[in-house]
A and B are shown apart, each in its own frame.
Chain A
Amino acid sequence: MTTTSLTTTTTAGRAAEADGRRRKHGTHLNGLPWILPAFVFVVGLIYYSVFYTGYISTLDWDGLAPTAKAVGLGNFTKMFADPVFWAALRHTAVFYVVTFTVQTALGFVLAAIMHSRVRFAMLHKVVIFIPTVLAPATMAPVFRLIYADDGMANWILRHVGLGSLAHPWLADGKTALPALMLITVWQWTGLTFILYYAAMSQIEPELLEAARLDRAGNLRTLWYIVWPGCRGTTVSLAMLGFIGALKTFDIPYLVTTGGPYHSTEFLGTYIYRMGIRQAHIGYAAAISIVLLVLAVAGALVIGRANRKGASA
């Protein structure tokens, strides 16, 4: 009986394996035309551009001249000795840590509040999300006015008895970066909120009910049930936030143009400054390559940390 069964299983297994191979083979043949356009697009455009940028990073070139001077790794050597490059990296790191932390905390808390019985919940959701859809180009002049010496930020401070803190926020290298981070938090917390709101909707109601039966309070439920339940969203936001921080360009460029005295310079603004303003295309390409390496490495590290955390 056992033998027969084993034989039958083995035969059936072989048949399934062969069928699987056929299907697998068939899928390859039948699926290729379907993925070909995307494959050509990705390989032909994106990867070509990446490798071409890598090639340009070895040149001293203004981007238009018919000839360019090959400098090998000269642009990278120059970049690692460039204090503005390191300042841009520092700003990126601080920007990422602060904006990600604050947005995550705010987004998570707001999503949790919106899952409770709140009056005018829809209105609140819209108000929270609206900044996300506003174009930075239209908001930049507004924020320059808000942060100006006679702007609304100082007006509010003076009217709540904090006039001693009032000063031109964007004109001071010490406060310009925090001011930009505040704009970013204002703009992107809505997206974080929406993603957490959706993630919380996926948590099994039975789990929450069980927590209630075990007399867990709101905070304990949030911390031990809801927060772990949103882990995937947090990791995704961490990755997106990291890559977004590396690519940060619009807010600093439009509000402060990287100034004053490079105090809000980011890799993106520095690439633009060197490549477009100063026509050092090779040097800008070298910074772009570093940006790419950092983005890939950061995504891998965050992904690995997530897998370790999930298996622990």
Chain B
Amino acid sequence: MALGAVASLAMAALAGCVSTSTNGTGTSTGAPTAVTTGGGVAPKDLSGNVVWWGYTPGSPVNEQYIAQFNKDYPNIKVTWKQTSIDDYDAAVRPALGNSSGLDVYQMSAGSANGGVAVFGGSAIDLTPAVQAALGSDWKSKLATTGVSALTVDGQLKALAAGAVFAGTIWINQDLFDKYGLTPPKTYDDWKNVCATFKKNNVGCFVQGANQGAFNIDTLHAIADNVSPGTFIKATRGEVPWTDPNLVKAFQLWKGLFTDGIMQDGALGQMQYPDANNAFMSQKYAMVMMGTWYSQYLIPNVMQSAMQAAGSTDKPFTMIPINFPDIAGTGNTGSLFGDVDYGQGVSAKSSNQEAATAFAVWMGTSTAGQQAIADSLNLIPALKSVTPNWDNVKLVNPDKQQGPEKDLVQRASAVTDNPRFATINADMNQALMQALSTVAAGQATPDQATKTLQQAQQSNG
């Protein structure tokens, strides 16, 4: 019965997709027409209540997605249920045991929240639905990282909404301009920039080093600067963690704490909310964040974030820059990422037809993907869709559009440099521990990498 429902839905999605065309900028020219499906159900006739669990991106963006979805599927009521990032796994685990109260839920790659390796077992296979929606060559139409990261044992457990990439630093361009500074390109540049900011009582670089996932981002960026690809090989067990390039990366990581780059007391602070708030309230000029930060280029979204950080100032001009060449190798501009989240449909859901319609719409329809692209929160999963820059209002288009377009373009081209997909939860923990002990001087880079290697081996 469930299979039949999914098949009929897939047909509906396919029909809807075919009837939707795009213009040159990827903008939807119309909602799917009411089409007859194999089961005789048109999108407008499909009804049901769908409870959608997740942790990102939050209000008001999720409500905007739902409103867009309801233009195509007016009789499906979607209720967004948000938990905090940290509590998501704990909250969704018991909810998945019920047939009601959870229909669609967010999953992500590797050791990130809602990791598909753990939570994918509770989801149906969406392959038939997406195949029907996009055709037999569906894989070529979707970002590779999204498909591979959410496939378990040959089954597509979730449809990626989009991907996020890290490796960038975001800077407050207004503060840089105010003090006549240019974005740092080398380690010496960076130290000089920080010295100038400190002289003017402005914080330089802020990181919540007590929230380890972001430390892993920084290490990854440093390691790619030292030797591109070595970090990923280590996570896959192809290179030992004791590789001299990785030891060097740990040394440079430690240097950020001892050379006045990282703010004092970083190990006692969280990336969210502490570092984020410090940057948003303009107390610090630089922060290690990824493409998910692009959403704050939009004035009203940034204003909300600034208000949440306790600032009543007007939105400021922030732009993404490459991680500085602190190793002096010339290897810069590395971006690494994977699917931010995908929508899975609970195998126990009593609304699977409507739930699958929603998951498929988010991941494959031009309208759904355009909404995601235009929010600048994610790099869309559907390759044909890019942000419609005519529709996207930026705080300072002259200064922001160029760097942002470049970031989106480069991120879309990344094929094999995952962020968390190759790091399981145990290695994630081991990495966070290694980074914090090195930062605090509790372990040397040599000792930390040896411990990491032991953890890797015991993990198989």
Contact = CB atoms under 8 A, between A and B. Distances in A.
A141 B436 CA distance: 20
Interface in B92-127: 93, 96, 115, 118-119, 121-122
A227 interface: no
B425 A277 contact: yes
B2 interface: no
Interface in B205-234: 209-212
Contacts of A65: 121
Nearest to B263: A149
Among B96, B425, B439, chain A packs the most CB atoms within 10 A around the CB of B425
Contacts of A66: 121
Interface in A135-188: 141, 144-145, 147-150, 167-173, 176
A262 interface: yes
Contacts of B212: 259
B440 A261 contact: yes
A272 B265 contact: no
B118 A64 contact: yes
Interface stretch (B180-188, B266-274, B316-324): B266-274
B429 interface: yes
A293 B90 CA distance: 24
A237 to B, nearest CB: 30
A63 B92 CA distance: 12
A261 B93 contact: no
A261 B437 contact: yes
A276 B273 CA distance: 21
Given A63-B93, A64-B121, A279-B425, A170 B437 contact: no
Contact of A64 (B119, B267, B436): B119
B436 A259 contact: yes
A250 interface: no
A147 B268 contact: yes
Interface in B400-442: 425-426, 429, 433, 436-437, 439-440, 442
- Chain B CB count within 10 A is highest, among A62, A65, A260, A278, for A260
A176 B265 CA distance: 11
B93 A276 contact: yes
A19 B168 CA distance: 85
A277 B89 contact: yes
A148 B425 contact: no
B63 interface: no
Contacts of A63: 93, 118
A149 B265 contact: yes
A148 B122 contact: no
Given A65-B121, A66-B121, A257-B211, A173 B440 contact: yes
Interface in A267-281: 272-273, 276-279
Nearest to A274: B429
A181 to B, nearest CB: 15
Which of B212, B267, B268 has its CB near the most chain A CB atoms (within 10 A)? Answer: B268
A57 interface: no
Contact of B210 (A62, A149, A167, A256): A256
A147 B210 CA distance: 14
A169 B268 contact: yes
A195 B89 CA distance: 38
A171 B93 contact: no
Contacts of A272: 90
Contact of B270 (A144, A149, A167): A144
Nearest to A176: B268
A64 B122 contact: yes
B96 A168 contact: no
Contacts of A168: 264-265, 267-268
A289 B274 CA distance: 35
Nearest to B89: A276
Interface in B264-316: 264-270, 273-274
A173 B115 CA distance: 30
Contacts of B436: 259-261
B267 A259 contact: yes
Contacts of B122: 64
B274 A144 contact: yes
Nearest to A279: B118
Contacts of B115: 279
A260 B93 contact: no
Given A64-B119, A256-B268, A173 B442 contact: yes
Nearest to A259: B210
A176 B442 CA distance: 15
Contacts of B210: 170-171, 256-257, 259-260
Contacts of B425: 277-279
Contact of B440 (A144, A148, A260): A260
A147 B440 CA distance: 17
B426 A170 contact: no
Nearest to A65: B121
A282 to B, nearest CB: 14
Contacts of B89: 276-277, 279
Contact of B264 (A149, A273, A277): A149
Contacts of A261: 433, 436-437, 440, 442
Contact of B269 (A62, A64, A144, A279): A144
Nearest to B435: A261
B361 to A, nearest CB: 26
B268 A170 contact: yes
A31 B157 CA distance: 54
A295 B426 CA distance: 29
Top 7 nearest A-B pairs by Cβ distance? Answer: A168-B265, A170-B268, A171-B268, A149-B265, A171-B267, A149-B264, A278-B425
5 contacts: A150-B264, A171-B264, A171-B267, A260-B439, A278-B426
Interface of B: 89-90, 93, 96, 115, 118-119, 121-122, 209-212, 263-270, 273-274, 425-426, 429, 433, 436-437, 439-440, 442
Given A169-B268, A261-B440, 13 more contacts: A62-B118, A64-B118, A64-B119, A149-B264, A171-B264, A171-B266, A171-B267, A172-B268, A176-B268, A260-B439, A261-B437, A262-B433, A278-B426
